[in-house]
Structure 1
Amino acid sequence: MRGTRTTVAIGASEDAIMAMASTLARCLHNRQSRFDTVDRPCSAGDRLAKTVLLEDQRGYVAAVIPSTHHLKLSEIRAQTGRKLSLARDCGVREVFRDCSRGAIPPVAMAYGTQTWLDDSLLSHPDVYFEAGDHRALVHMSTDQFVDLMADAQRGHFSHRDM
């Protein structure tokens, strides 16, 4: 049985939380997530989640992969059963309205977008991801991240950069 938790921003400055995308902040609160923030740049490597927005005639899909990986478009197409391609910039702005360009958080489901999480991101004890701005990254344990991403589909659709 899960105990009661409260959203705790451990070590997160008030400025960092205020700059965070409001949709992300609401999602973290609703999921009762425990997290902290770190100033950019942070060299988190395989532990930094990168969100890639894809689209087809049915709408958008977000793929969340390690920042050191490349998306295997053929794999995500096979797993979703959709003919996805990279979304145009206008689509990214449409979906992630409260985020700076290039600072997309992985919680695309909070933005009404189907989300797929690559399991290779979960092989470390903690995860970092964009806060919706270019000032800070959100940092949390992998267990917290799995809870946060509970509504995402999971699979393998990326490969490590060489």
Structure 2
Amino acid sequence: MGIALTMQEYLEDNHVPYEVAKHNKTGSSAMTAQVSHVPGASLAKGVVLKWDGSYLLAVVPATRHVDLGKVGRIVGERVQLASEEEASALFPDCDTGAVPIFGAPYRVACVIDDGLERHGDVYFEGGDHRTLVHVSGDGFNRLMYGMPHGHISD
């Protein structure tokens, strides 16, 4: 499949240069980092949460887990994990379980972990379990401009 069309258009519309690399199929972002020889703290993953009758995309380093309490304090309400079926319905051009890190092009609210803003390079799955996308830290920050952020992982 490669990079999802929605993500590709979002990158190009924002004039953010990116590189795409293939890797062996993996079942988790931590495994993707390992097989791709990428630092896990530089690999961003998206986690879909239920929030205020809708959904919220929490973006954290692959080496971390979303802290629901911390996210709830940022958004001002309780949040909970969405099911894989709910997440898949939000991102129809992505494989099941391959949650993108961009909420804006899918019209999903987004919150970013501060840990991702410290890296010179950021990597993320491209919409399937075999494609890794690389952007500069500046490019990542530009793509996430205006999104709320905070320490949302443990």
Using structure 1 for the length normalisation, give the TM-score: 0.83
Report the Cα distance in structure 2 between the residues aligned to 1:79 and 1:102, rounded to whole angstroms: 25
Given the alignment of the two structures, is residue 53 of structure 1 paired with residue 48 of structure 2, yes or no?
yes
Give the share of equivalent positions with the same residue, in percent: 36
In structure 2, relative to structure 1, the CA distance for the partners of 1:57 and 1:117 (3 Å cut) is closer
Report the Cα distance in structure 2 between the residues aligned to 1:88 and 1:58, rounded to whole angstroms: 14
Corresponding letter in the other structure for 1:136: T
Given the alignment of the two structures, is residue 115 of structure 1 paired with residue 110 of structure 2, yes or no?
yes
1:109 CA displacement: 1.6
1:62 CA displacement: 0.4
Task: Specify the alignment match of 1:31 in structure 2.
Answer: 14
**Is this contact kept in 1: 2:52–2:77, CA < 8 A?**
no
For residue 119 of structure 2, give the secondary structure of its aligned residue in structure 1: coil
For residue 10 of structure 2, give the secondary structure of its aligned residue in structure 1: helix
Task: Specify the alignment match of 1:42 in structure 2.
Answer: 36
1:66 CA displacement: 0.2
Report the Cα distance in structure 2 between the residues aligned to 1:101 and 1:144, rounded to whole angstroms: 26
Report the Cα distance in structure 2 between the residues aligned to 1:144 and 1:97, rounded to whole angstroms: 25
Report the Cα distance in structure 2 between the residues aligned to 1:136 and 1:80, rounded to whole angstroms: 31
Corresponding letter in the other structure for 2:4: A
Corresponding letter in the other structure for 1:20: I
Q: Deviations over 1:83-107 (max 9, x none)?
A: 1100012210110111012222211
Corresponding letter in the other structure for 1:42: S
Gaps of 5+ in 2: 24-34
Given the alignment of the two structures, is residue 80 of structure 1 paired with residue 75 of structure 2, yes or no?
yes
Report the Cα distance in structure 2 between the residues aligned to 1:112 and 1:48, rounded to whole angstroms: 22
Report the Cα distance in structure 2 between the residues aligned to 1:46 and 1:102, rounded to whole angstroms: 20
Report the Cα distance in structure 2 between the residues aligned to 1:94 and 1:136, rounded to whole angstroms: 20
Gaps of 5+ in 1: 1-17
Which deviates further from its counterpart, 60-69 or 128-137? 128-137
Corresponding letter in the other structure for 2:13: N
1:150 CA displacement: 1.2
Report the Cα distance in structure 2 between the residues aligned to 1:151 and 1:20, rounded to whole angstroms: 24
Report the Cα distance in structure 2 between the residues aligned to 1:61 and 1:20, rounded to whole angstroms: 22
Runs of 4+ in 1 over 6 A off after TM superposition: none
Question: RMSD of the alignment, in Å?
Answer: 1.3
Corresponding letter in the other structure for 1:27: Y
Q: How many residues align?
A: 142
Using structure 2 for the length normalisation, give the TM-score: 0.87
Given the alignment of the two structures, is residue 19 of structure 1 paired with residue 2 of structure 2, yes or no?
yes
Report the Cα distance in structure 2 between the residues aligned to 1:20 and 1:79, rounded to whole angstroms: 31
Query: Going by fraction, where is strand more abundant, 1 or 2?
Result: 1
